Structure 1
Amino acid sequence: MLVNLFDFVLPQELIAQRPVSPRDSARLLDVTPDALHDRTVRDLPNLLQAGDLLVFNDTKVIPARLLGTRASGGKVEVLLIRRQGADRWLAFARPGKRLKNGDILTFGALAGRVAAKHDDGSIDIVFDRGGAELMAAIESAGAVPLPPYIRGGTADARDRADYQTLFAKVDGSVAAPTAGLHFTPELMAALDDAGVRTANVTLHVGAGTFQPLRVDDTEQHTMHAEWGEVPQATANAIATAKRVVSIGTTALRLLETVARDGPIRAWAGETDIFITPGYRFRVVDLLLTNFHLPRSTLFMLVSAFAGLERMKSAYAHAVAARYRFYSYGDCCLLRR
């Protein structure tokens, strides 16, 4: 499909720069088959049914942006993408073209060596320590890797908490599963009282989240692979759920990846699934997701889920009603 089919006018001032407080006071656009309803996230228990299963992504955002120096004294910025081993990471670097294999990069007390350069501009970097010691050093030296749409990607102390969900427990993401940012302990208690069940999956969100489409046709776009896992307990819960409600596009992508080979089961591996209109969904019945950017793979996914024309209408309403977009913004509830 032509990428320009997924374009729309988004005023820059609608891209949220901070989350609302409390988190569950964010606005929620309830997109039903025949109407659009302006609500808040706190209304969610009344919009769901007893026996529904909410599936959350429990990945934890690591402070993956490292600012340091090259041996020449020049500055370097590294964005960690995916762990390749105990001491080895795939990363993007700026200025990447100036780096050579063997170059030593220093980030305060942490150092790494450029081990390989790849055609897509990424590098392999091997650090001077591994395992838990490396993760502790990254936690100390790194910064929250905000998308460039939020304050130019410059994070501050508030973002350490703001850009992490209530469910975050498995280190590995360079971007938050942002639909999960809306949930509070109070909202979870209300959902439990309504008979709504919950389960977790893990999908480590990669740098592909930040990458714009640089092609004219969706068939020419290549998705970055991301690692995920579906526990057996979650597979069992899905098998008995009244309806499966994916909290965010990351959980949906993982569930639909596993379901391509049959019923949901325990699974771990990489996925590069790219969902566009025409895709046949196998698992997810409802989707809670934030508002996405024009021409993005995420807007293509929600258009596949709820219908392109319906989503264009919903987004036009959201723009006119001044909903807040993207990672720190508001959300919508979609039916398949």
Structure 2
Amino acid sequence: VYRLAQVSNHIIDQCVAQGVPFAREYGGLLANRSFGGAQVSRTFYARGQTGQQLLLGAYSALMRQVARGQVKLFPRREMLDLVVINGKARGITVRNLITGEIESHEGDAVILATGGYGNVFYLSTNAKNSNATAVWRCHKKGAFFANPCFTQIHPTCIPVSGEYQSKLTLMSESLRNDGRVWVPKKKGDTRPPNEIPEEERDYYLERIYPSFGNLVPRDVASRQAKFRVDEGRGVGPTGHAVYLDFRDAIKRLGKKAIAEKYGNLFQMYEKITGENPYEVPMRIYPASHYTMGGLWVDYNLQSTIPGLFVLGEANFSDHGANRLGASALMQGLADGYFIAPYTLGNYIASTDLDKIDLSHSEFQGSQE
């Protein structure tokens, strides 16, 4: 965690150099904003799509190296096995998802950056292909797993609409900067939200946690939303939702200012639900989002299998039992840009690695 804090400034410089359009103040300095779990503005951002913009910056830098011939991509592959030779990770076996062909690839080491296991839940905000099979197969080969119970339930997701859904959609935590979370005070109140007068609304986060208000940590906001639904005060067609209301923020700042901050998020919400969040409150509910547990790694991000390095959400490090907003992006970028290049290089330089190729019996056995 100390090292992560040390390199965090470099992450911003790296991403700015890649063209990530971080928000800036009038004078040109980087702007920041509040996120849940803190009472200060601590997060640099790119409107309501910080993660997407960071991905575009990283992908652009990667494709530049691909165009130069420095990197070769093997897209649409699913990892089937980790190949361990003489106790060291030396390659992987994968399935080509287009042709079905089984392939193997050898190397001096293996880096696993395949995300978390949130899809163990029936619905989550993760893409369905992010199914943790790579992490599981490394665990079966002997890599220790740490803190599997540390799963983060994100409080601001679009609620379930029906049984046909394969995943849930995340709405940025930044919305809680200006949105107020509430439910009706009366149980079973099915009136439209705009017909419920102010005195009959329970702004329960502001009531229970006056210091933090709507910016309580994610686990607290999720738990309290579940409590309200269990009390029979949930809203919407299913009753499994609470309101996130921007009425007061629009009155205070104007619709244009809110649109500048959250316009892309509001548009996405309206496309999914058919409701205009400028006119009626959003409906949100907690959903499985991130896993703090993962494969155990040491300070060099190396697992218990020598030569297997695990980066980002796939490992267990940095976040404890409850990750704070934006810290996953910070960890993934720190691991990939500022930690693994040095620890991996040190491993290769200081380890006796036999020369191998795909004819080795371990690769042949892995494909059978």
Q: What is the TM-score when the length of structure 2 is the normalising length? A: 0.30
Q: What is the TM-score when the length of structure 1 is the normalising length? A: 0.32
Higher helix share: 2
State the structure with more CA Rg: 2
